[in-house]
Amino acid sequence: MAINKLTNEQLTTMSYTDVAEYVLEQKNKKMKIADLFMEVIKLRGDEEYIFESKIGDFFGLISTDKRFVMLDKGFFDLSKKYKNKVDLNIEEDEEEEIEIEEEETEEEDVINYDEAIDVDDDQEEDDYKDLVVIDSDEDVNMDL
């Protein structure tokens, strides 16, 4: 569907981000945020004075929308064009992290705390000899 085939009514009912996505699909190239927003305004039939007051909001919408990716020097494009490249980089980073963690685990000294602290089991049992278990259903009178 070409931009020219959309009616003014269709364009005005579309959100700014939907129109931006459509513009990037039709142009098939990355665009600077200001140029992209100006194109969106023109297509929607909005007044040009909106550019100054809404460019910040538009930037916020585009930069948080997963359909778009921010590139170097203020350019934006559709993230689906870069999806495979990004996924490959993430997988490589995860593999590196796993290798690093495995190396660190091998280098760490394993400490068995039961062996490191000489605990007298008889003394531990003596600590609990004065404890009394009270059932909450029983009425217990304790003289203190």
63 lies in a domain? yes
> Which domain, by its residues, includes 49?
3-83
d(C-alpha 42, C-alpha 47), whole Å: 8
Which CATH number belongs to the domain containing residue 56 in this structure? 1.10.10.1250
108 lies in a domain? no
Q: How many domains are contained in the chain?
A: 1
10 lies in a domain? yes
70 lies in a domain? yes
Report residue 41's pLDDT band, with 50, 70 and 90 as the boundaries.
very high
Residue 24: partners with Cβ closer than 8 Å, 6 or more residues away: 30, 31, 36, 68, 76, 77, 78
46 lies in a domain? yes
142 lies in a domain? no
3-state secondary structure 35-91: HHHHHHHHHHCCCCCHHHHHHHHHHHHHHHCCCEEECHHHEEEEHHHCHHHHHHHHH
Q: Which tokens belong to 109?
A: 């000294």
Mean per-residue pLDDT, 1-5: 52
127 or 43, greater pLDDT: 43
19 lies in a domain? yes
pLDDT in tens, 71-81: 988 899 998 88
Mean per-residue pLDDT, 29-38: 94
Residue 111: per-residue pLDDT:
58
Residue 121 above 80 pLDDT? no
Report residue 55's pLDDT band, with 50, 70 and 90 as the boundaries.
very high
d(C-alpha 30, C-alpha 137), whole Å: 74
